[in-house]
Every structure is written in structure tokens, then in C-alpha cells.
């Protein structure tokens, strides 16, 4: 029986998964703001690296595969090599930095592998430092777009997004993001949100989601029409106390980038002209698992 651990290290959130009995189970997660702190001091910070080493050593077992995404692609080759050497010394594991194209391919695979849907589907992969988009037809990617900005960048542009309640005009922020996006040749009806825990957002805000009636997939049980999504997002940005949410949840740092991520989703949904969004917990791990199953 194949059993292994996968640890995904993102620009903001790091997650550990167990693969066992043909199932991928989430073990734990931690917020380590690599990108935000890198922006401030132009290097990976010792405190962030120490948190990562501790987290990895606490979660490693069986065969353990660790990979990093956006922030680790953008640092200099010298700093990345030094970090990977230090990571090996501190954890006795290799650190694998994956390309934006591979991250997109693997995550899109996870989001579309078990769905039967005749129309075009878009998959957004949102992160702290990058955003990827695939448009899929019959489980095949027919168009891709890659962007070098994410939630951290939008939060840095509009600093009040981290305040208790935001004040910057909604359309101003949406239009700023839309200017960074490209029009797609193929138009989807549905946007699947992947690469982050989008269900965590709605669960913590206690917002009700509709049952997914478009296709049947246990990893994508919910949907939301874009008009309802906008109502929830505006309420979260302008009316909801961010301080109260942070006090009630077990991952307060995660919420610093939550409003910016909602704005990216909104801007992309409007640019694509989709009717529904499908929030998920799906990440790159599904594609990584398929590769490891072949190797192991």
C-alpha cells in the first residue's frame, strides 16, 4: 500500500496532506507570510524559515515530498540555492520549487478530473504572489493565462484592506485589478476557485452556499451565482469587522490577504463573464500525487 506525505509551501499558506488508500487527506496548515515579509526586507526572513522547518519536521513521516510555489520562483537563484541547502540540512528533505506552468497544470487537473460538464470551465489558482488561469473543455486545457501578482500585492496596493473595515472605493480596486488581466479567447460559464481554501472563507463567515447542481464531485459540492458572491464580498470588505474574525479563528494571519483575494476573484469573474463560481479546497497536490504514485 502506497502512503506518503506532501507539504505544499506557498507565499502565505503552507499545507500538509496524507495520501493513503487512494485518498488525499488534509492534515494541517499554517500561515507563514513569506511574500509579505520578503516585500518588506528583500529576502526570506529567518523567522519564517524557522517556522517552516519546525512545521515540516512535525509533519514529515513515511516518504515526504515538499514543494514550493510562487515566492520561491521569484527570488534570486543564489538565495534559492542557499535556502534549499539550508532546508536539506534542517529537515533532511529536498525542497522542490515548481514552475508556474506545472502548478497550473496540476491544480487544473485536480479541479477538473472528475467532472462531467459540456461547457467551458475556468479554473483560477489564487495565491499570495501569483495568479493562474486555465480554461478547460472536456477535461483538456485549451487556454492559459499567468499573472505575477496575488493577494499580497493587492493588499500592499490598498493598505486599508487589512484594517478593521476597508474604505477604498470598490470599483476603483476592481478596475485596478481588471487592468492587469487579459481577455480570453474562450468564454467559460463557470469559474472554479482553486489553489487556496475558499471553503474556509465561507465557513468562517457562516455564509450559506448553494448545492452544486452543475456537476457531481465530492471535492466540489457547492456553488454560488456571481451576484450573490458580490453581495457577500462587499459585506466582508466594508461591513464585517476583520478584528472580530481574527479573534474567532485559529489562523488570524490568513485573513490579512482575504479581502484582496476576494477582489481578485471578483475582477476575474467579471472579466470572464461567468455565471457561477465553485469554491474549493483543491490545490496542486492532486497532480503531484499522480506523479508520485508513478515514481513510488
pTM, rounded to two decimals? 0.89
Mean pLDDT of the chain: 94
The architecture of the domain spanning 110-279 is: 2-Layer Sandwich (3.30)
296 pLDDT more than 90: no
Element (H, E) at 50: helix 46-59
Residue 197 to residue 151: CA distance in whole angstroms: 13
Looking at the DSSP assignment, which residues form a beta bridge with residue 16? 7, 28
Average pLDDT of span 186-215 = 94
CATH 3.30.420.150: which residues of the chain? 110-279
Distances, alpha carbon 63 to alpha carbons 2, 18, 60, 67, 283, in Å: 9, 10, 8, 13, 20
Q: What is the DSSP letter of 160?
A: G
Rg (CA), the chain: 18
* Nearest one of 7, 14, 15 to 33, comparing CA atoms: 14
* Nearest one of 260, 273, 70 to 176, comparing CA atoms: 260
Neighbouring residues of 40: CB distance < 8 A, sequence distance ≥ 6: none
Classified by CATH at the fold level, domain 3-98 comes out as Nucleotidyltransferase; domain 5 (3.30.420)
Neighbouring residues of 291: CB distance < 8 A, sequence distance ≥ 6: none
For 127-171, how does the pLDDT look when each residue is reduced to its tens digit (9 = 90+)? 888 999 999 998 899 999 999 999 999 999 999 999 999 999 999
Residue 181 has what pLDDT?
97
Residue 291 has what pLDDT?
85
SS3 67: strand
Looking at the DSSP assignment, which residues form a beta bridge with residue 211? 222
CATH 3.30.420.40: which residues of the chain? 3-98
Distances, alpha carbon 122 to alpha carbons 66, 76, 265, 290, in Å: 27, 32, 12, 22
Residues of the chain with pLDDT > 90, as a percent, come to 83
1 pLDDT more than 90: no
Residue 295 to residue 103: CA distance in whole angstroms: 19
66 pLDDT more than 90: yes
Amino acid at each position: 500500500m502506497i502512503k506518503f506525505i506532501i507539504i505544499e509551501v506557498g507565499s502565505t499558506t503552507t499545507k500538509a496532506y496524507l495520501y493513503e488508500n487512494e485518498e488525499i487527506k488534509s492534515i494541517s496548515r499554517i500561515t507563514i507570510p513569506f511574500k509579505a515579509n520578503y516585500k518588506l526586507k528583500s529576502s526570506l526572513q529567518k523567522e519564517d524559515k524557522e517556522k517552516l522547518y519546525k512545521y515540516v519536521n512535525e509533519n514529515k513521516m513515511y516518504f515526504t515530498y515538499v514543494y514550493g510555489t510562487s515566492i520561491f520562483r521569484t527570488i534570486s537563484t543564489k538565495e534559492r540555492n542557499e535556502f534549499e541547502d539550508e532546508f536539506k540540512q534542517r529537515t533532511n528533505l529536498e525542497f522542490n520549487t515548481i514552475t508556474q506552468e506545472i502548478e497550473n497544470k496540476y491544480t487544473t487537473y485536480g479541479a477538473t478530473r472528475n467532472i462531467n460538464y459540456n461547457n467551458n470551465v475556468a479554473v483560477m489558482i489564487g495565491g499570495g504572489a501569483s495568479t493562474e488561469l486555465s480554461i478547460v473543455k472536456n477535461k483538456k486545457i485549451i487556454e492559459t493565462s499567468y499573472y505575477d501578482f496575488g493577494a499580497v500585492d493587492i493588499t500592499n496596493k490598498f493598505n486599508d484592506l487589512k484594517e478593521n473595515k476597508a474604505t477604498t472605493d470598490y470599483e476603483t480596486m476592481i478596475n485596478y485589478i481588471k487592468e492587469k488581466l487579459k481577455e480570453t479567447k474562450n468564454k467559460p460559464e463557470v469559474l472554479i476557485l482553486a489553489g487556496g481554501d475558499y471553503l474556509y472563507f465561507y465557513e468562517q463567515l457562516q455564509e450559506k452556499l448553494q448545492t452544486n447542481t452543475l456537476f457531481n464531485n465530492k471535492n466540489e459540492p457547492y456553488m454560488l451565482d456571481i451576484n450573490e458572491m458580490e453581495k457577500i464580498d462587499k459585506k466582508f470588505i466594508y461591513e464585517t469587522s476583520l478584528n472580530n474574525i481574527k479573534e474567532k479563528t485559529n489562523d488570524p494571519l490568513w485573513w490579512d490577504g482575504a479581502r484582496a483575494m476576494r477582489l481578485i476573484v471578483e475582477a476575474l469573474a467579471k472579466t470572464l463573464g461567468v455565471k457561477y463560481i465553485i469554491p474549493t479546497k483543491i490545490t496542486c497536490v492532486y497532480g503531484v500525487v499522480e506523479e508520485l504514485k508513478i515514481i513510488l
